[in-house]
Amino acid sequence: MKARVVRALAILTLVLVVSVGVGLAVGSQRIDPAGLFADSFSRTLFFRLRLPRVLLGLVIGSSLAVTGGALQALFRNPLADPYVLGVSGGGALGASIAIALGWSARVAGVPLVFAASFAGAMLAVSLVRTIARTGAVVLPGALLLSGVAVNLIAAAGVLTIEYLTDPSSALRILRWLTGSLDIVGLAPIGRMLWILAPAWLALLALSRQLNLLAIDEDTAATLGVNVRRCEAVVHTLCALIVGVTVSAGGAIGFVGLIVPHAVRMMFGEDLRIVLPGSLLLGAAFLILADALARTVLPSGELPVGAVTGLMGGPVFLWLLHRRQQFAAM
């Protein structure tokens, strides 16, 4: 088992390193590596824009993928993903409310926007879970449907708020609802990592319990897992991670769906590989998707959420088709 984990993570680390290289190399402006030291324009472009963007992709991609993997296990639903379940939407709504109200302050270094986004995400995940759970089972169909509804409500909420505050802010709305990795400077990423890194580690530490929960809830309970507590902790961690990422990059879709499945296909079902593997591959995936978004158009660029949506939507439909039991419910 240990050898399997090491091998999988070594391969995925390599993939990540290559994608970071690609992400740093491509863009609307070619940056000559040699020019980095000589030319101050290149340097500014690289350190203020290109590098932060790739790092933000890394942080957000990791976050969305690992929460996707954890939520799939927790709900025993291969179609679960923070975007599909409306958790990202809830976070986006929370963040846009905070921004509309002008809460730009930070408390103990933590931006209030993070807190608002976390609250929105937490509300969404609790709502979806409460609706989908009847007695001891979480109905897979009801889970996805309530996710759809929460997403629509959140999107309408974001739209209303943006429209009320500034009717010309169509671009900002787009950013919240489809996601973008546009960022200037490294400081915001530092503030995110301060919260995200511990949350990632906490989630990884739960991977064995999540393994048992992914098999069956009763099984987990009779093997010594405190199911209710584990569920509450995973909910909170996922809402925290998604909340923080959404308030920086908007609701980027389907990363949490595609990436854990890709890791499973390559290395099997064990969450002790799937979760850390998703951290690595999620980062690689979003960096590459963003590289594509930046270069695919002859002029200008696509929001990265459009790229992940165009890739992830069909994957979702394919999974839905493959799992007849979900279509039936």
Partner 1 sequence: MDECRFFEAQHLGFAYPGGPLVVRDVSLTAAPGRMTAVIGSNGSGKSTLIRMLAGLLKPRSGKILLGGIPFDAWEPRLRAREIAYVPQSTTTVFPFEVTDLVLSGRTPHTQRFRFESAHDREKALAALDAAGAAHLAGRSFTSLSGGERQMVILARALAQEPRLLLLDEPSSSLDLKHRAALIRTLVRLRKATDLSTIMITHDLQLTAAFDQVVAMRCGETVASGTPDEVLRDGVLRDIYSDPDVHAQRVGNQTLVWINL
Which one of residues 205, 296, 317, 327 is an interface residue with partner 1 (CB under 8 A)?
205
3-state class (DSSP) for residue 138: strand
Does position 2 interact with partner 1 (CB under 8 A)? The reply is yes
Question: What x/- string results for residues 126 through 145 when contact with partner 1 is judged by CB under 8 A?
Answer: --------------x-----
Contact region with partner 1 (CB under 8 A), list: 11-19, 41-49, 101-109, 213-221:
213-221
The C-alpha torsion from 44 through 49 and 52 to 55, rounded to 10°, is -120
Pick between residue 21 and residue 268 the one whose CB is nearest to partner 1. Answer: 268
Does position 208 interact with partner 1 (CB under 8 A)? The reply is yes
In total, the chain counts a number of residues equal to 329
- Which of 198, 200, 205, 195 has the alpha carbon at shortest distance from 271? 205
Cα gap 186→20, rounded to integer Å: 16
- Which of 94, 99, 84, 156 has the alpha carbon at shortest distance from 121? 94
Does position 33 interact with partner 1 (CB under 8 A)? The reply is no
Pick between residue 214 and residue 238 the one whose CB is nearest to partner 1. Answer: 214
Closest approach of partner 1 to the CB of residue 73, in Å: 8
Pick between residue 172 and residue 208 the one whose CB is nearest to partner 1. Answer: 208
Paired strand residues for 321: none
Which residue carries 């979760």 as its tokens?
275
Which one of residues 19, 62, 67, 77 is an interface residue with partner 1 (CB under 8 A)?
77
Does position 9 interact with partner 1 (CB under 8 A)? The reply is no
Does position 221 interact with partner 1 (CB under 8 A)? The reply is yes
3-state class (DSSP) for residue 329: coil
Pick between residue 90 and residue 256 the one whose CB is nearest to partner 1. Answer: 256
Cα gap 134→121, rounded to integer Å: 22
Kind and range of the H or E run holding 17: helix 2-25
> Which residues are at the interface with partner 1 (CB under 8 A)?
1-2, 5, 73, 76-78, 140, 205, 208, 211-212, 214-216, 218-219, 221-226, 264, 268-270, 272, 323
